[in-house]
């Protein structure tokens, strides 16, 4: 049986292919990875709050090391029950780590839905995640 070894030309060809792969994945404007967004997650899907509580909701892009070019985020509430206020510097955006956060305040008793809608330029449908927020009166 003949032994096969990689010659210098084979090693150089592999090195060149690896260099092309690395350079295709590296974009100096966006960091080492330039991948498409595959989803968005919220740190909470349900919050049970007492009037006056001020938790922070955090939305994270998946994967977190994606390009933010053409990405917009919108935080909304349905205002059906509980009144929930958002605190953040408008416009609320994703940071370089792929996270967007808002501090909410539980203003009045009831239940509401806080929704995060992430729109990606060139993608037909946005990513949508929600958190149900229930607020009860502060005991006297």
- Kindly report, residue by residue over 103-138, the tens digit of the pLDDT: 888 888 999 899 999 999 988 899 999 999 999 998
Q: How confident is the model at residue 3 (pLDDT cuts 50, 70, 90)?
A: low
Lowest mean pLDDT among 10-19, 64-73, 79-88: 10-19
Tell me the average pLDDT across 31-36: 59
Whether residue 111 lies inside any domain: the answer is: yes
54 within some domain? yes
Number of domains present in the structure of the chain: 1
- The pLDDT tens digits of the residues spanning 79-92 come to 766 666 776 655 67
Domain span at 51: 39-136
The answer on pLDDT for 34 being more than 90 is no
Domain with 107 in it: what CATH number? 2.60.40.3450
Q: Is residue 18 part of a domain?
A: no
pTM above 0.85, yes or no: no
Query: Of all residues in the chain, what percent carry a pLDDT higher than 90?
Result: 36
d(CA 61, CA 23): 23
Cβ burial, residue 82 (10 Å; 0-12/13-18/19+): buried
């Amino acid at each position: 049986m003949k032994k096969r070894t990689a010659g210098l030309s084979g090693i150089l060809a592999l090195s060149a292919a690896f260099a092309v792969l690395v350079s295709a994945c590296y974009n100096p404007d966006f960091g080492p990875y330039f991948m498409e967004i595959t989803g968005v997650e919220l740190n909470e899907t349900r919050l049970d709050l007492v009037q006056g509580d001020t938790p922070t909701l955090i939305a994270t892009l998946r994967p977190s090391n994606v390009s933010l070019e053409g990405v917009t985020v919108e935080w909304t509430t349905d205002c059906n029950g509980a009144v929930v206020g958002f605190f953040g510097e408008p416009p609320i955006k994703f940071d370089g780590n792929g996270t967007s956060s808002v501090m909410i305040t539980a203003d009045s008793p009831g239940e509401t839905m806080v929704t995060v809608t992430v729109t990606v330029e060139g993608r037909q449908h946005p990513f949508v995640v929600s958190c149900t927020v229930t607020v009860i009166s502060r005991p006297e």
